[in-house]
Amino acid sequence: MTVRIVKVDSEKCQGHNRCYAMAPAMFKVDEFGYATPRGDGVLKTEQDLELARRAVDNCPERAISIEEHDEA
Amino acid sequence: MPAEPVNDWSTDYDIFAREYIRDPFPIWDQLRASSCPVARTDRWGGSWMPTRYEDLVKFARDIQHFSSRNVLVADVMPAPGAEEQELSEEDQQLVQQYDVGAPPITSDPPVHTWSRRLLLPPFSVTSVTKFEPETRELCNALIDGFIANGRADGAADYAQQIPPRVIASMLGIPKEMTSTFTDWVRGFLELGLTDPELRQESGRSIFTFMIEQVQQRKEHPGDDLISYLLAQKVDGEPVPEPHVVGTCFLLLVAGIDTTWSSIGSALWHLALHPEHRTQLIEQPDLIANAVEELLRAYSPVTMARYVAEDVEYAGCPMHEGDKVLMNFPAANRDPSIFDHPDQVILDREKNPHIAFGVGIHRCAGSNLARMEMKVAIQEWLRRIPDFRLEDPHAVTWAGGQVRGPRKMAVVFPS
Ligand code: HEM
Ligand code: SF4
C-alpha cells in the first residue's frame, strides 16, 4: 500500500497563507504566517489527496510536496 | 513634455507610456515571447525588465546580486541644488539620523530579517480578522453615501476610501486624516514618480507626520501598531526610533495605493462581467478564490531591485547600480504557468500567483489586503448587485509602480 504524506519545506515557506486558506484542516500557520501540516500529514482519503495537490499547485514558493512511501 | 513613442518594447520600453498603463497585456505577451527574456530601456534612469514567471522567481531569490536598497521603478533627480538649499542644518541632521529607508521593504538581510519578523504577527490572519467588522461597516457607510444617486466613482468614492481608513485605525491615527494621506501617498508613489518636487514634498510630509506620531506614542502608548512597534525588542534592545518611523512610513505608503488599486480593478472587472457578478452572488464561498484570481489577473504592483554586483543574467550584462524592474504582474499572465492567462476564471484551480511578490520580501500586508478586497467586493455586490461603467473609455488608469483605475464612473439602478 502507498502511504502519502504532505510536507512543508520550512526553508522555502514565506507565509503566503494560500495553503491554510484553502485547507485549514490540513495546515496550520504560526503567528509569523509560516505553515506546517497538522498532525502527521498522512493523507488518508482521496479528498485529502486532492486538497493537498491543490495546495501544492497554489503555493508560490513551491514549498509543499507530497511524499510517497510503499508500505507492506 | 510628451515622451518619444516606443518603437521597440524589448530595447526601449516605457512603463509610463499611456498605452502601457492602459493595456500592458499585449506588450508583456510580446516581451515574454521574445528571444531575450530580459527587456531593456534607457528611459527613466534605465532598467532591465523580466516578464516570465520563472525569471521573476529567480531574480527575487537572488538577493545577493539583486538588492532591495532601491525599490522604486523610476529614479527622478531632485531639482538641481534643491536638497542643499532647502534644508536647514537641523533638518540635515534629522535626515542623517533617520536615514534608515523604509524597512523591511528597502532592507536586505540581516536587517530585513528582524525588521520583517517584527511586522508579521500584527499582520497575521488572526490579527487582521479583528479589523473585518470595522471594514465592513466602513464599506457600508461609503455605499450609503452614494447608493441613492444611482451613480458613483467606484475608484474615488469607494476603493480609494477603504485602505487609508483601515491602516489609520491600525496605527491609531485619526481617520479624518484620510484624504491627506491619500494626497501624500499619490504624491509620493504615483504622481511623484515623474515629478521630483512633488515627490520630495510628499515624502517629507509623511515623514514629519510619522515622527510626530511616534513622539506622541512614546508619551502616551496606546493599543495600536505604533505603540506595539515601540515596545518591541531586538537582541534585548528596544527597536531604534528611526526604524519605527521608517516602518510606519512604509505601512502608509505600501498599504494604500496598492490595495485601493486592486479593489478598483476588481470592481472594474465586475462592472464589465455580469456573469461573474452572478457567479459570486450565487456562490458566496467562491470569494476567497475569486480574490486570488483578481489579484493574479490585475496585479497592481511592480517593484525594483538594485544590482549589487556585476552579474550576467541570460546573456545580459548587468552592472552594479543598474535597476531591475520586478514585473510581478507580467509573470502572473505567463502562459507557461497559467492556463488561459488572459481569462479571469474565478474558480481557477492552479493559481500560484506572485502579486504579493515571492521570496523573502513577500508582502507583509497580504492578509490585510485580502481581507479588505474580500469585504469591499462582498458589500458592494450585496448592495449593488447590478452595475456597469458609465463610459468604459472615460476610465483613467494610473501605472508605473502601482496600476489601477483612478476615475471610474459606474451607474446602477437606484
Ligand atoms: C493588494 C494589495 C497589495 C499588493 C498587491 C502588495 C504587493 C506587494 C509586493 C509585490 C511586495 C514585495 C516587494 C518586493 O519584492 O520588493 C510587497 C511588500 C510589502 N507590503 Fe504589500 N501589497 C499590498 C498591500 C499591502 C498592505 C495593505 C500592507 C500593509 C499595510 C502592505 C505592506 C507591505 C510591506 C510591509 C512589505 C515589505 C515586506 C518585506 O520587504 O519583507 N502591503 N507588497
Ligand atoms: S502556501 Fe506555501 S508559502 Fe504559503 S504558507 Fe503555505 S507553504 Fe508557506
Of A66 and B203, the one with more pLDDT: A66
DSSP B186: I
Residue A65 beta carbon below 6 angstroms from any ligand 2 atom: no
Q: Around Cβ B133, how many Cβ atoms within 10 Å?
A: 10
Residue A27 CB-density burial (10 A; 0-12 exposed, 13-18 middle, 19+ buried):
buried
Three-class DSSP category at B224: coil
If one compares B42 and B192, the residue with the highest pLDDT of the two is B42
Q: What is the pLDDT of residue B88?
A: 57
What single-letter DSSP state applies at residue A45?
S
In Å, how far are B6, B201, B268, B269, B272 from B391, measured between CA atoms?
A: 28, 35, 11, 14, 11
Who's near B391: CB < 8 A, 6+ residues apart? B409
Task: Evaluate if residue A64 carries a pLDDT over 50.
Answer: yes
Using the mean position of ligand 2's atoms as its centre, give its distance from the Cα of residue A36 in Å: 9
CATH architecture of A2-70: 2-Layer Sandwich (3.30)
pLDDT on residue B190: 83
The chain A residue lying nearest B53, using CA atoms, is: A60
Report DSSP state, residue B121: G
- Is A57 in contact with B349 (Cβ distance < 8 A)? yes
The least confident of A40-54, B124-138, B240-254, B275-289 is B240-254
- Confidence check: pLDDT of B82 > 60: no
Residue B407, classed as helix, strand or coil, is strand
Give long-range contacts, CB 8 A cutoff, 24+ apart: B104-107: B104/B247, B104/B250, B104/B361, B104/B364, B105/B68, B105/B71, B105/B250, B105/B254, B105/B361, B106/B68, B106/B69, B106/B70, B106/B71, B106/B250, B107/B68, B107/B69
Instruction: State yes or no: pLDDT of B254 exceeds 70.
Output: yes
- Within 10 angstroms of residue B167's Cβ, the number of other Cβ atoms is 24
In angstroms, the CA B33 to CA B39 distance is 11
Q: Topology of domain B16-411, per CATH?
A: Cytochrome p450 (1.10.630)
Predicted local confidence at residue A72, as pLDDT: 64
CB contact under 8 A, A32 and B350: no
B99 band by pLDDT with thresholds 50, 70 and 90: low
Nine cell digits for residue B19: 498605452
For residues B348 and B289, the answer to whether their CB atoms sit within 8 Å is yes
Residue found under cell 552579474: B311
Nearest ligand to the C-alpha of residue B113? 1
Tens digit of pLDDT for each residue in B289-336?
999 999 999 999 999 999 999 999 988 999 999 999 999 999 999 999
A35 lines ligand 2 (CB under 6 A): yes
**Per-residue pLDDT tens digits for B21-72:** 999 999 999 999 998 889 999 998 899 999 999 999 999 999 999 999 988 8
B86 to chain A nearest CA, in Å?
A: 42
The DSSP string of B362-396 is --TTHHHHHHHHHHHHHHHHHH--S-EES-GGG-E
In chain B, what residues touch A13 (CB-CB under 8 Å)? none
- Provide the residue ranges of all domains of chain A, joining segments of one domain with +: 2-70
* Three-state secondary-structure class, residue B403: coil
Burial of A56 from C-beta contacts in 10 A (0-12 / 13-18 / 19+) = middle
pLDDT for the residue numbered B80: 37
Give how far the C-alpha of residue B313 lies from the chain's centroid of Cα atoms, to the nearest Å: 27
